[in-house]
Structure 1
């Protein structure tokens, strides 16, 4: 039988090795369920704008730009001359002039009334923000006290379970009763964790609400500056309402020239923007913030205090990395697409594949420049961007046991 070959026995894997492999796999699975998380994100389109807003310098009447006295990036102070206009329209003397002056006075009175309404509106908004913050503080304090009392109840439950465990071990009660007490203890501990999560949410909400009064003050200041600029334009118009002549445009406040829309020799109509000033507080640096836009399908899970990761269209993130920011405000009313800049509106339509209204989200940036490792590149006003915001994040075990937790809450 030698021509059939020799007989060999296959070696089996030792049982202890199989047990060790099984233990490693089970441990890895348990660690994954305990510590891994599931995150749901959304990408939002946006644009960079000055944190202090912008002031548009407009032509008071139809005129020809004679000279520009400033350049882009130049720092100006309130009262500085910006440009010289030549008024082309002449006004006849007599009743027609009186009517024009009266119309200008009426317009000035309307603008002053508007300033009073803006002050009252933002005063109410600031009071509401302060009251909201106080309400959150009270609710947080009550929740913390409720949590302290419930923690005492959990401690009693643990002691009761330990006592029943000893009695079951001594044979006084059946194991079924111990399992019942164990279930009650697990339910108490789950409710304690829910309280902790609710308190964490209140802490985040308190942090976000703490920004609201300052944000309302900043918005009020921006509105007042725009109205003051309109008053300054109106005053300049009334000075030259009688005859043709040269008119100097003056800066209504301190700031930095950001953009020039016209050149010497160009003709401008009444109300046309000639240049843009970014208000500044004694510094040459312009602080930029990001403004994102979200649809009604995603804005519900976005709140103040959330971290966002920003990618700038002008700087590929593979080389320049990401920017970081914190959400400081979420608009309560939507904005129509036609009210947004054309380039941004086109990008939003392509992103959401529609023309539905969007909500504006204010993001405070942590850095005002990006680096490629050797050089810093400052951010610029008007740059487009895309930001990732976290909508929901849960542990794997919360996702697995969610039906059980929901059913338990319904029973309770």
Structure 2
């Protein structure tokens, strides 16, 4: 006999049996198989969503604008004076060496009589140049002849002085002999062996000899003085000739400078300042240019094209060197030519204002400059490689951050918690 629990012992057996029966009959629970499939499907969907939220990632990009530049800088060649381009010797893409002629610019001026003023002035200066060159040649020849003449005079006077000295020696002996004869005649006169008339004749001859000797001595002094003057002149003449020659030479140099100035007023030439490749050409033959007008840009030899991006301050904190960048060139629509890749080379640490940047890109506010190295220096179009041009505008997509989807979904909660 089954033993009843204490709670059941409070009631009679009939009461308990009455409670075990249902007056309405037995209840059956019907579960269609479709509900089971739906439950399994919902479980799989929810599980898939959870896996997707935890495994899937969300990447945030920033679209920024920029231009193509060169790593060694772009050299801009400008006009020095106002004029008209009459000759252009290069075109875009040409390689040039330092000193190569790029442009010839005419700066002709005309008078009211339709005369070319600069050409007229140049003709006068050229005529003056020829005259000065003739004067210098004549002066050099004259100086040589004059020096030779002075040297000849010096030599002649030296010989003349020697001859005078020889004559003086003769006259000295003659005077000595005359003095001795005069003394003898005076003794003879005192002894009565001669008369006074004969003595007077001897005295006259003696005085005549002395007079001639004195004249010869004066001539010697005069000749010696003249010789000294000639020697002094011979010493001074080269200096005088040199001074005159230098004066003519200075005038000649000044006139050459004037010719150069006038020639440059007629036309002047622009040469390549360094080795490189011709970039953008902003002027052509026949155009008028003013001082400072940029005529052509020159890409230094060995330069590499790069992209210069202008990133707002709100996005700069996520950009790091070596980060990959996708670019779309304005000249090559990405729908036809695809995206072009590169890597960040450097990020500016200084913010720049729009007016501080020389760029064609319109900027709304202050930006940071980010330099991107290009994976390719050209774009393939219609079966050929087309080199990118300096100054070409572009749009770039820069990856800022990469987070899981669950972090992205829960970001509002994180932001509320951090408040």
What is the TM-score when the length of structure 2 is the normalising length? 0.49
Which structure's CA Rg is the greater one? 2
Taking structure 1 as the reference length, the TM-score comes to 0.50
